[in-house]
Amino acid sequence: MKNIKYLGLSVFLLLLSTPSISHGMHIMEGFLPAKWAIFWAVLALPFLILGLKNINKLFKEDVNAKVLLGLAGGFVFVLSALKIPSVTGSCSHPTGVGLGAILFGPTVMTVIGTIVLLFQALLLAHGGLTTLGANIFSMGIVGPIISYGIFKGLKKTNMNRTYVTFLAAALGNLATYCITATQLAIAFPDPASGLVGSLMKFLTVFAVTQIPLAIVEGLLTAIVYNLLIEYKEKGVISIENI
């Protein structure tokens, strides 16, 4: 497990060395109308409760999972802090949730995503408390579910493991921003073209920055996952999903 700690530190320092080029992330504080902020928070709550139960079960079954879960959390925290300005009130960035979803399942990453979003809102002024539910739903619920589903589905095929991991992480990232665009479109429909027109505008603007970022996230996730596979084969770590 000592090698895993070094791996986590190396990934963290590598990502931290990448410059940040904006001061906002997710949907920013106060940007959503109150009714939608409450709606998304209520919708996210059952997933968070289920995730807490699954983490408790995970720790009882595998004491070594704590270190890997810490690595997955650090991966999310640093990747989601690397951002590019995009739509007013939001911006594009990697999410990092694909790795943890592959390792532990989507609901566990709901908890990790919530912790990361809360810390960033309180300590870094990224995102916000009023928009926490919306950000959890997009990044901590939908993104991990898509990544996990794609990984589990493609893992049963003969596709190369690296490609499977890449697709799971990249498409999970894109799913997060499709939901974010939908959330913004619902809250701010276009006066002329309505919800659909607003959604198309948000998706178009996001796509310019988000597609390249999704590709980068997929590559990084595949690299880290393959390193974990090597450590497992050497007997350094033991976890069912890798």
pLDDT confidence band for 91 (50 / 70 / 90)? low
Averaged pLDDT for residues 9-20: 42
Q: Identify the CA nearest to 36 among candidates 78, 89, 85.
A: 89
pLDDT confidence band for 160 (50 / 70 / 90)? very high
For the ranges 88-92, 109-113, 213-217, 231-235, the lowest mean pLDDT is seen at 88-92
**CA–CA dist 116, 152 (Å, integer):** 25
More confidently predicted of 36 and 212: 36
Which residues, 6+ apart, have CB-to-CB distance to 161 below 8 Å? Answer: 155, 225, 226, 229
Q: Are 31 and 131 in contact (CB under 8 A)?
A: yes
Q: Are 69 and 108 in contact (CB under 8 A)?
A: yes
Residue 226: the pLDDT is 92
Residue 207: the pLDDT is 77
Averaged pLDDT for residues 174-203: 90
Domain residue spans of the chain? 2-8+23-233
Averaged pLDDT for residues 170-191: 91
Q: Which fold has domain 2-8+23-233?
A: Arp2/3 complex 21 kDa subunit ARPC3 (1.10.1760)
Where is mean pLDDT largest: 28-32, 128-132, 159-163?
A: 159-163
Which residues, 6+ apart, have CB-to-CB distance to 91 below 8 Å? Answer: 22, 24, 25, 26, 83, 84, 85
Q: For residue 137, what is the DSSP state?
A: I
N residues, the chain = 242
| Residue 52: pLDDT over 80 | yes
Which residue(s) pair with 84 in the sheet?
Answer: 92
Q: How many angstroms separate the Cα of 233 from the Cα of each of 8, 45, 156, 219?
A: 18, 38, 20, 21
pTM: 0.83
Q: How many angstroms separate the Cα of 222 from the Cα of each of 14, 96, 228?
A: 15, 11, 10
pLDDT confidence band for 201 (50 / 70 / 90)? confident
Residue 93: the pLDDT is 72
Q: For the chain, give the mean pLDDT.
A: 82
- Residue found under tokens 């289920």: 50
